[in-house]
Amino acid sequence: SYLFSTIAEKISAFEKKHPEKQIIKLGIGDVTMPLPQACIKAFHRGVDEMAEEATFRGYGPEQGYGFLRERIAETGFIQQGADIHADEIFISDGAKCDTGNLQELFDTNITVAIPDPVYPVYLDTNIMAGRSGELKDQRYERIVYLDATQENGFVPKLPDTKVDLIYLCFPNNPTGATITTEELKKWVDYAMDNKALIIYDAAYEAFIQDKDLPRSIYEIEGAQKVAIESRSFSKTAGFTGTRCAYTVVPKACMAYDHAGNTHSLHDMWKRRQSTKFNGVSYPVQMAAAAACSDEGRQEIQGLVSYYLKNAEIIRSQMQSLGLECTGGENSPYIWVASDMDSWGFFDLLLEKAGVVTTPGVGFGKCGQGYIRISAFNHREKVMDAISRIKKALA
């Protein structure tokens, strides 16, 4: 089953068996801080407009309201030097849905390259679509795996063979690793040379603190022709329950058919979305637009700093136990190495400390031996979890 469903079932079984135990969840990356005030105010305004005949709105544009698309283009891309226009931005209800649905545009015979470990949605949706082949030794025979290991700093090297579709996720979920501009350029060049397409999941870009690191793949020259980028309001403005995200499909981005003819991915994605999706609710888009205002962005910076402080605490405390850690500096996830099997470590922390983490192997074979700790929780809960973990491992 889906990794986070399996974990949710385990937690619920544990809670049933030990109703007296208070568990602390540092597993799924679910935010705990309320929506920024700017978003709440706009959300209310949106609801009030729906209550009046004069301002009521029915179906909205499937691609999202212009006011939101324009704000995103301006504040998320143009101000950072990336040449992305409002009509290249598709508003959706989640980066999970977008990164999961994009593969639908392609033939089942294409070759797909997927990092290992990585957010399980990319692999799972390609398996469901019939692109994976058989499972042998924890690997699907038709998938090209891009191993991310301690040795390569959790940034995979380019595939040895030609692939058609590449998934990349930076800051990475689950390892928290980041990619430099030089490294990312190699992927863009590879895609251009091989007529490949990159799906770049930048759901965690707001956590990048290091000014030298790229926040968008469109900071790389030529990327508009070979890359689609997904981002989300979930982890920044706290929209995991509110639901709003977006995917950039530049007009210059092309897919190739068997005969080598080009097709506009923008047109294909527009066709797909307008057929299968009816857009995000008006009040939610109002709230999302407020997240892009000066006030909203300032509040988001506060939220990001809060979670990053949690990450710093988790990372330094895990390191003080002699455990090797990656991530947590430009990412809300800390990737912790152990000498145990991932699920064994997960079970130990759940049973002895009452702390939920995510077993690394759930993100791929290369994640074996690791657990991922999420920094999304209240500070007191994080501090409590740390002291419980220390006691459990003593």
> Which residues of the chain form contacts with ligand MLT (CB under 6 A)?
28-29, 96, 119, 173
Question: Do residues 179 and 213 lie in contact, with contact meaning Cβ atoms separated by under 8 Å?
Answer: yes
From the CB of 188, what's the least distance to ligand MLT, in Å?
Answer: 25
Distance separating alpha carbons of residues 128 and 119, to the nearest angstrom? 16
Report the residue number, 173 or 342, with the smaller CB distance to ligand MLT. Answer: 173
The candidate with the shortest Cα–Cα distance to 131, out of 147, 111, 117, 115, is 111
Report the residue number, 38 or 356, with the smaller CB distance to ligand MLT. Answer: 356
Report the residue number, 28 or 393, with the smaller CB distance to ligand MLT. Answer: 28
Report the residue number, 7 or 220, with the smaller CB distance to ligand MLT. Answer: 7
Report the residue number, 63 or 173, with the smaller CB distance to ligand MLT. Answer: 173
Contacts 24+ apart (CB under 8 A), 19-22: 21/354, 22/354
From the CB of 364, what's the least distance to ligand MLT, in Å?
Answer: 13
From the CB of 394, what's the least distance to ligand MLT, in Å?
Answer: 28
Report the residue number, 35 or 121, with the smaller CB distance to ligand MLT. Answer: 121
From the CB of 119, what's the least distance to ligand MLT, in Å?
Answer: 6
- The CA-based diameter of the chain, rounded to the nearest angstrom, is 65
131: phi then psi, degrees, rounded to nearest 5: -105, 0
Report the residue number, 28 or 321, with the smaller CB distance to ligand MLT. Answer: 28
From the CB of 173, what's the least distance to ligand MLT, in Å?
Answer: 5
From the CB of 5, what's the least distance to ligand MLT, in Å?
Answer: 11
Q: Is the peptide bond before 115 cis (omega within 30 degrees of 0)?
A: no
Residues near 206 by beta carbon (within 8 Å), at least 6 away in sequence: 235, 236, 300, 304
Question: Do residues 125 and 97 lie in contact, with contact meaning Cβ atoms separated by under 8 Å?
Answer: no
Report the residue number, 173 or 326, with the smaller CB distance to ligand MLT. Answer: 173
From the CB of 70, what's the least distance to ligand MLT, in Å?
Answer: 26
* Chain residue whose CB lies nearest ligand MLT: 29
The candidate with the shortest Cα–Cα distance to 118, out of 158, 186, 169, is 169
Distance separating alpha carbons of residues 321 and 308, to the nearest angstrom? 20
The candidate with the shortest Cα–Cα distance to 96, out of 124, 116, 71, 68, is 124
Helix axes 294-320, 282-291, angle to 10 degrees: 70
Q: What angle do CA 171, 231, 306 make, to 5 degrees?
A: 60
From the CB of 324, what's the least distance to ligand MLT, in Å?
Answer: 21
Report the residue number, 96 or 315, with the smaller CB distance to ligand MLT. Answer: 96
The candidate with the shortest Cα–Cα distance to 376, out of 34, 24, 30, is 30
From the CB of 96, what's the least distance to ligand MLT, in Å?
Answer: 4
Q: Which helix (H) or strand (E) holds 346?
A: helix 342-348
In one-letter notation, the amino acid at residue 251 is K
